[in-house]
Structure 1
């Protein structure tokens, strides 16, 4: 689905990943679930392009609902997969600490896990080989993605700023639809390793110019980064 010039979304408000289309080729941000591979193919065809036009995949972190088709893309098509060094092991093995689920409602929770199962979320292929990145890196990929360290949801969580899209991709640094409660609007994401650190990390994006803030779960958010931290904090207080 096209959101704006150069900017496309795969998936939906339950699980989303993104495609940046430029004259130099394509950069992907996250890889959703394995079943999103078909949506990727459809989106590429609509652009008159193919997997051969993809120059790199940047992961906002290493959780299974963000690495879905990453290994397929890497192993079958030679596309490099970039992830923060602190999440490299997580991306390769899936090992992560147990976290409290927090609030949940039966309907939304079943809807989320049902969707994940339909998209082959139980058949995660972890990524055998990754290229590690760090806070402040500007990647030599279409759109020149800028990496912003956002530890908290995971140690290696990052936001990805792509100026050509006027967008900031935040992964699970926040959500605009809580997958376990169905609550909509900007808020802290569930399954977060260190919620206090995640909330503090939101201050790191405040100075970035963008009018799209794009999470891995929930609707695209038209806002400016300076408003993000206060909105998420206010949502937490109201909850």
Structure 2
């Protein structure tokens, strides 16, 4: 799905990944679930592109619903996969998340689990190799994506700021659809290792001025970073 001149999304409001397109090629942000591979290929085709045009894949963190087709892209198509150094072991499957479920509703949770199951969430292949990145680093990839450290959901969670797309890709630093309750709108994400730290990390993006806030779960948000952060803080206080 095309969101803007340089911006595409695959997946849906349950699990999503993104493509940045420039004259230099394509950067992919997050790899969803293994079954999103066919959607990746189809979206590229609709753009007049192919897998050969992908210059790199950036992971916002190392959880299984964000690394789905990453190893396939790296192994079979020589696409480098970038992840924050603090989440490299997580992306390789050497450490596992420690967060609990927290609040949930049976229907919404079942929809998330069923969708993940249909899209290969039970057969995730971890990364064999990654390229470690750090906070503040600007990657030599289409769109000149800048890494913003957002620890909390995981130690190496990041946001990815791409000015040419007027967008910040936030992974699970926040969500606009809680996958366990179905509640819409900007709010803290579930399965977060350190909720207090995750909330504090939002200061890293609120003054960016980017229109698009693009989470791994939920609808794309186009009312600006500052408004999204304001609503998340209000939602956190209401808990």
TM-score, with normalisation over the residues of structure 1? Answer: 0.98
User: Structure 1, residues 57-99: CA drift from partner, whole Å, max 9, x if none?
Assistant: 0000000000000000000000000000000000001522422
Distance in structure 2 (CA, Å) of the matches to 1:183 and 1:8: 24
Q: Which residue of 2 aligns with 1:41?
A: 41
Q: Which residue of 2 aligns with 1:32?
A: 32
Contact 2:186 2:229 in 1 (8 A): no
When the two structures are aligned, how many residues end up with a matched partner?
239
* SS class of match (1:221): coil
Does 1:92 pair with 2:75?
Answer: no
Greater mean deviation of Cα atoms: 127-136 or 90-99? 90-99
Q: Which residue of 2 aligns with 1:198?
A: 198
Q: Give runs of aligned pairs for residues 145-224 of structure 1, distance below 5 A.
A: 145-224=145-224
Contact 2:20 2:165 in 1 (8 A): yes
Q: Which residue of 1 aligns with 2:72?
A: 72
Contact 1:20 1:27 in 2 (8 A): yes
Could you list the runs of 5+ residues in structure 2 that have no partner in the other structure? none
User: Structure 1, residues 122-158: CA drift from partner, whole Å, max 9, x if none?
Assistant: 0000010000000000000000000000000000000
Could you list the runs of 5+ residues in structure 1 that have no partner in the other structure? none
Distance in structure 2 (CA, Å) of the matches to 1:5 and 1:238: 37
Q: Which residue of 1 aligns with 2:115?
A: 115
* SS class of match (2:75): helix
Distance in structure 2 (CA, Å) of the matches to 1:115 and 1:98: 22
Runs of 4+ in 1 over 3 A off after TM superposition: none
RMSD (CA atoms): 0.9
Greater mean deviation of Cα atoms: 226-235 or 192-201? 226-235
